[in-house]
Homo-oligomer: A and B are copies of this chain.
Amino acid sequence: MDQALDQARAAAGRGEVPVGAVIVDGATGAVLAAQGNRVLEHKDPSAHAEMLVIRQAAGKIANERLDGCDIYVTLEPCPMCAQAISFARLRRLYYGAADPKGGGVAHGPRIFSQPTCHHRPEILDDISAREAGNILRDFFKDRR
């Protein structure tokens, strides 16, 4: 999660909403991908940190399924990213701060609780949540 927090801080430095994500091979502990949010840089509304690491990690192992891999995200994933995590068959989702307004795991559509959701990762929330939340708060405070 420390690497995900570093990615969130780097995103803030680029003027992006500071969220970071890392995908780790659960068997070896190897980091397959680490990214921050790049929506503005890529001119891509889907370029959330989670989407970028899923694409990068799947490309690296040349398989669209990331069985046995875990994702660390500094903020509760939105519905788009939660559904992508399900499609990627990620084993575990570790996340930091809760996101009552935009989250899709414990809030809103609760993607993994839908009967039509075919793969649900093991979910561990509230990981370094205070630090993840502080990075977001500082970012939005500075922009007001």
Q: Contact residues of A with B, CB < 8 Å?
A: 39-40, 42-47, 51, 54-55, 58-59, 62-66, 78-84, 87-89, 101-104, 107-111, 114-117
Contact call B59/A44, Cβ cutoff below 8 A = yes
Query: How many copies of this chain sit in the oligomeric assembly?
Result: 2
A46's partner among B55, B102, B107, B111 (CB-CB below 8 A) is B55
A-B CB contact pairs (8 Å), 21 listed = A42-B55, A42-B59, A43-B58, A43-B62, A43-B64, A44-B58, A45-B88, A46-B51, A46-B87, A46-B88, A47-B64, A78-B83, A79-B83, A79-B111, A79-B114, A80-B81, A101-B116, A102-B116, A103-B116, A109-B114, A109-B116
